[in-house]
Structure 1
């Protein structure tokens, strides 16, 4: 199997080396992300029409489209914005999703092994600059086709915050009078499975993932799946792939501290609202 991979890689390296080394080399890959999540709305006291609205909003948060634009060493990963995400009637419903993904451009450079994420939080713009995570990829023997591309399997183990993918909405009066202070998220070892293609020998991938000898076309871990649905090589109209520059520069650790403090403020405010009986329709969703 290893000899087969080496031969396969050698053939496509010869075919693509000219394009990869070309000054104008660029590619674009579209990814669909999906996360399975269950909600128990029985006994919540929420009207049927609002339950439907909650389910639709949850689906829009858990199923997104991203575009990865890349050249030989750099890439930008960005959510494809939909027109219906701009607003619309919310009926007082408020969702807060916890997560470390970028809200703007997510720039990665595999040559310098650095990344810069654009994040907007609480009306402020941040630039999160850090080193790329180095993954200990294990090359597996399995292969499969994704579209027209032969893909090879690789796995790694990553420490992630334990995610709750089941939510139980209760009536305010059914909650305990005294709620415990939220604990720090527990960490767990999660197996991440990647499928990469040697047809496109660059080390890029969706989100924070990278470091394989070919473009990563699929990532899966836990209840989350990220799948490439479209690839365009050397498009006629090139996109600019440059590191973002607007926002307050912070490290990931500094940004996490800012989020933690702000979320604590929001929890305290919500507790005050609850005590005043004004918390109907306000829910916290932690992803």
Structure 2
């Protein structure tokens, strides 16, 4: 009987902790880019490719803060930057899908929904949709991240990848279906079903994610900070579903590629080709 009483007291204690606490988690991200550049004659341009690779990697190294309580969270880039552009050898590349540091991802775990405030070319959108059921497969594998014991979970999905190649302003688009594995490390020591970006659905806060070419790692956690944790659902922007926004992004990408093609045709210069995948 004594053992049962002690166990129940522990469960109630954890439950009360989960109901009342708030926190802030800092995440650092980086993404690998798979691309190649040649001089238009089939010869690789290794110097330009190295410079572009270094600049792109720097652009994708960002820091975010997840503010959270038991059922809600906001995820936002720490520094507000202008929409990143990369220039190499007279070539300019606009990195698509960046809201210039103003994006906010709000998640409501209880209602299983999210709101993503983002911008495209100065137009503000409010993506409102249901949280995806990731169908995680948990394992017994563990590792330490900081002072927290984390457990491994995985999932796989089929994803359509689009690759673009551009030679002297002429665009070629290729599509292929690839299998992407996501690996998440979560800690039951922080008993909330949340994590960075739109990741969630595990019995503990997700501290690390490897999702294809994207890596997200938690570098700091502050529980019950002295300053009040503000969690506000974004309200302003054109309301769209995720499917509708994906179509808008696809059309915008094609428009940008067309502008680039016309610009290359109107300018004189050495021919080159660039292909970006992923």
TM-score category, normalised to shorter length: 0.7 to 0.9
TM-score by length of 2: 0.80
**Matched length:** 266
Question: Does 2:241 match 1:243?
Answer: no
Aligned-partner SS, 1:59: helix
Q: Check if 1:254 corresponds to 2:250.
A: no
Q: What is the TM-score normalised by the length of structure 1?
A: 0.78
Counterparts in 2 of 1:177 and 1:272: CA distance versus 1, 3 Å: closer
> Which runs of 5 or more residues in structure 1 are unaligned?
1-8
Does the Cα contact within 8 Å between 1:27 and 1:234 map onto a contact in 2?
yes
Q: Residues 185-196 of structure 1: matches in 2 within 5 Å? A: 185-196=175-186
Contact 1:13–1:201 under 8 Å retained in 2: no
Residues 109 and 10 of structure 1: is their aligned pair in 2 closer, same or farther, counting only changes over 3 Å? farther
User: Greater share of strand residues, 1 or 2?
Assistant: 2
Quote the Cα distance in structure 1 between the aligned partners of 2:249 and 2:129: 17
Preserved contact between residue 27 and residue 235 of structure 1 (Cα < 8 Å): yes
Distance 1:45 1:246, change over 3 A: same
Distance, in Å, in 2 between the alignment partners of 1:194 and 1:34 is: 15
C-alpha contact (below 8 Å) 1:270/1:279 kept by paired residues: no
Q: 2:59 aligns with which of 58, 61, 72?
A: 61
Partner of residue 213 from structure 2, selected from 223, 228, 232: 223
Runs of 5+ in structure 2 lacking a partner? Answer: 1-6
- Map 1:173-212 to 2 at 5 A: 175=167, 178-180=170-172, 182-183=173-174, 185-212=175-202
Give the direction of change, closer, same or farther, for the CA distance of 1:269–1:90 in structure 2 (3 Å limit). closer
Q: CA deviation at 1:285?
A: 5.1
Question: For residue 130 of structure 2, what is the aligned residue in structure 1?
Answer: 131
Residue 113 of structure 2 aligns with which residue?
114
Residues 107 and 269 from structure 1, CA distance in 2 versus in 1: closer, same or farther, beyond 3 angstroms? Answer: same
Give 3-state SS (helix, strand or coil) of 2:111's partner: coil
- Write the mapping of 1:25-40 to structure 2, written as runs, cut at 5 A: 25-37=21-33
Counterparts in 2 of 1:89 and 1:161: CA distance versus 1, 3 Å? closer
Cα distance in 2 for partners of 1:187, 1:131 equals 24
